Amino acid sequence: MIQLRRTRRGLPVALAVLTVGALIASCSSSTKSTSTAGSPTATGIKKGLTVYYIPKDTQNPYEVIADQGGQAALAELGGKVVVSSGTADTAAAQIPSIQAAIQAKADAIVIAGNDPSALCPSLGQAVAAGIKIVSFDSDITCANHLFINQANTEQIGTSEVDLLAKEINSTGDIAILSAAASATNQNAWIGFMKTQLKKYPNMKLVSTVYGNDDPATSLTVLQGLLSAYPNLKGIISPTTVGISTAAQYLSTHKDVAAKVTLTGLGLPSQMKPYIKDGTVKAFELWNPSNLGYLAGYAAAALASGSASTAPGAKFAAGKLGSYTVLAPSGTTGPSVVLGPPTVFNAANIDQFNF
Ligand code: RAM
């Protein structure tokens, strides 16, 4: 609209475009200092919001980084984050935190679902109490929420299979080392992996094992996998806990590492030594801090009534710019996608510190 009005007034088109560009640039630079009351992107966001972050658990470094991103967002917006969850990746361990948010009259809950549906009765109580619900990392099927997706779900699943296929010449038995068996994100990615595997007739998925995002359990199920399938050629671990546990094991068992190729989703900070020593060639992820940050801005906008879950609704997300709510598709309700994942390897791993 700005461009149209300025063009009508007779400004040369190029100048009009430049002007719009400058306006956008000035808006986005001011978004980086949203702690200033009344800055353009903070307009409409209530001060003093309390957002409960309920990660899968409080010990997983990935979830900790995501929660810190949320804290940064709410600090910019003049609100605060309370992080609360259990130590095991179960829905039961998250329910007391939902109840605590209700008791505390929180404005919003940002939750990574350990289960697609088991949290819905408690989250329904939160909605009834006027609390806005945002899921991030791992979605829930409950009504009335916005899902902040880290990257396109299909792309995450298919690209991990493609990465492994490239390394093992599209041939051999492979397995998946997942997190909790009920985790929505893991199962959605695994579903797309299975579809993508149809394109590789010589790669056979022989087993999926679950380490519950607990390093000790991940190691136990990994060892079980390796002894049950001595001809295993590849492992995809779509969890930062699983892949780092497996990478550590392989780096100290070179005979196994010589036969088994590992890839999946990992934190560059945890995986750097295993890229450097050649145990792992490539893996993927997004910036978990940005995921938490985006969820914080979304939660604040919903709690302030300045954004909605309607497809096409827009909200500003500080340093990340503006995001648009996507229409529901399949089992996913309204969602927002952070952006494409990054593939990390020896050439770029030093550039990332999360
Ligand atoms: C683990 C968790 C999380 C997942 C990442 C990639 O930390 O399972 O849910 O998104 O890995």
Residue 19 CA to ligand 1 center (angstroms) comes to 42
Ligand 1 pocket test, pick from 62, 65, 244 with the greatest ligand atom count within 8 Å of Cβ, gives 62
For residue range 261-304, what is the model confidence (pLDDT) as tens digits? 999 999 999 999 999 999 999 999 999 999 999 999 999 999 99
The span from the CA of 17 to the CA of 332, in Å, is 37
Phi, psi (5° rounding) for residue 165? -55, -40
pLDDT at 80: 98
In the predicted structure, residue 44 carries a pLDDT above the cut 80: yes
- Report domain extents, the chain: 6-150+287-339, 153-285
The predicted structure's pLDDT at residue 26: 31
6-150+287-339 is classed in which CATH architecture? 3-Layer(aba) Sandwich (3.40)
Same fold, 6-150+287-339 and 153-285: yes
Ligand 1 pocket, residue 149 CB under 6 Å = no
Residue 19: per-residue pLDDT: 32
How far does residue 28's CA lie from ligand 1's centre (Å)? 30
- Whole-number pLDDT of residue 37: 36
335 pLDDT tier (thresholds 50, 70, 90) = very high
Q: What is the pLDDT of residue 122?
A: 98
What pLDDT does residue 294 have? 98
Cα–Cα distance, 49 to 51 (Å, whole number): 6
In eight-state DSSP terms, residue 265 is: B
pLDDT band per the 50, 70, 90 thresholds, residue 43: low
Q: What is the distance between the alpha carbons of residues 227 and 213, in angstroms, rounded to a whole number?
A: 21
CATH topology of domain 153-285: Rossmann fold (3.40.50)
pLDDT given for residue 6 in this prediction: 28
- pLDDT of 39 > 70? The answer is no
> Does residue 9 register a pLDDT over 60?
no
Q: Which of 2-6, 184-188, 335-339 has the lowest mean pLDDT?
A: 2-6
What angle is formed at CA 178 by the lines to CA 177 and CA 182, rounded to 5 degrees?
Answer: 150
